[in-house]
Amino acid sequence: MKSILIIKLGALGDVVRTTPLLRVLGGRVTWVTSEGAVPLLTDNPYVDRLVCIKEAHTALFNENFDLVLNLEEEAAAAALASSIKTRSLIGAHLEDGRVAYTASASEWFDMSLISKFGKTKADELKANNRRTYQDFIFSMVGHRFQGEEYVLSLPLMEHPIRALVGMEERAGDIWAMKRWSGYEQLALRLRESGFTVKFFRQYERLGDYIAAINECEYIVCGDTLAMHAGLALQKRVVAIFICTSPYEIYDYQRMNKIVSPLWQKYFYRRDFVREAVQAVSVESVFEGVMALSKPKSG
């Protein structure tokens, strides 16, 4: 049986959206991730072992793998990938002391911060891209993405509450432009239409946050962990795209994407501009929720 090492540390949403790949890899999978992402992969039936990045060099020093797949751009992950004994390496690694990437992973990393073309061209390629993330990572390992689902195996005790809409108005400091300005107004519209609304807060444990998402029938959020967790838990998701690519996200036929009319103007910007976060109308997001609430024909 093949032995496979995946290196994917974060962000948390990116860890979740990498899990469909597990369904086609086969073999014994070791996954190196960040300490914060461990709860998202614990009890995953396709992962034989989880290793934190800070312990990985020591834990894996004497091991041999058939495949190492590194999907991280940072130097520490690239150094780890280069130090592991393997028959095949795909993704980012060190080359003459610099972070580089294999030809098999070039279509994805050409659009990244380590692109051999430089940031300006990388951002242009990313803005013009129309393929999903899953399509890229499946292609790296010789497979074709065919809608394979996320794998999120947390023990979730609470059952979803009908017509409950969970809203995630927060976003990390790196992507301040993802914080849409219309959540409060949207909540009023939805309550007037018979929905119950709750806003997610800071939870002590990541598992509690995922459980709170699981209680909802609908999720409204930006391009964040809540979107990926909602898709993984098979919720009906309305995702607002202000400055990141809507095309990279596969919708699994249960998500409506609301794309800002100024999306290209502010694409991949990491500052905060009020015009950008106000460009998406409350009405468009409300209609996105209502469309998901209607029974599917046929």
Beta carbons within 8 Å of 271's beta carbon, 6+ residues apart: 176, 177
Q: How confident is the model at residue 55 (pLDDT cuts 50, 70, 90)?
A: very high
What are the chain's domains? 3-140 (3.40.50), 164-293 (3.40.50.2000)
Residue 139 pLDDT > 80: yes
* The pLDDT value given to residue 181: 96
Residue 237 pLDDT > 90: yes
**Encoded amino acid at 219, one letter:** I
Residue 282, burial from CB neighbour count under 10 angstroms (0-12, 13-18, 19+): middle
Task: List the 3-7 sheet strands across, edge first.
Answer: 49-52, 28-33, 3-7, 67-70, 89-95, 98-101
Residue 45 pLDDT > 70: yes
Tell me whether the omega of the peptide bond preceding residue 239 falls within 30 degrees of 0, making it cis: no
Mean pLDDT value of segment 246-268: 97
pLDDT digits (tens, 9 = 90+) for 281-295: 999 999 999 999 987
Angle formed at CA 14 by CA 74 and CA 199, multiple of 5 degrees: 130
pLDDT digits (tens, 9 = 90+) for 75-98: 999 999 999 999 999 999 999 999
Query: What are the C-alpha distances in Å from 222 to residues 60, 159, 171, 284?
Result: 37, 24, 8, 14
Angle formed at CA 287 by CA 281 and CA 291, multiple of 5 degrees: 155
* Mean of the per-residue pLDDT values of the chain: 96
Report the percent of the chain where pLDDT is more than 70. 99
* The pLDDT value given to residue 297: 57
Question: Do the beta carbons of residue 243 and residue 217 sit within 8 Å?
Answer: no
Mean pLDDT value of segment 7-20: 96
* The pLDDT value given to residue 153: 87
Q: Which residue has the higher pLDDT, 50 or 158?
A: 50
Question: CA-based diameter of the chain, in Å?
Answer: 61
Q: How confident is the model at residue 155 (pLDDT cuts 50, 70, 90)?
A: confident
> How many residues are present in the chain?
298
Residue 49 pLDDT > 90: yes
Residue 298 pLDDT > 70: no
* The pLDDT value given to residue 282: 98
pLDDT digits (tens, 9 = 90+) for 158-212: 789 999 999 999 998 889 999 999 999 999 999 999 999 999 999 999 999 999 9
Mean pLDDT value of segment 8-22: 97
Mean pLDDT value of segment 250-259: 98
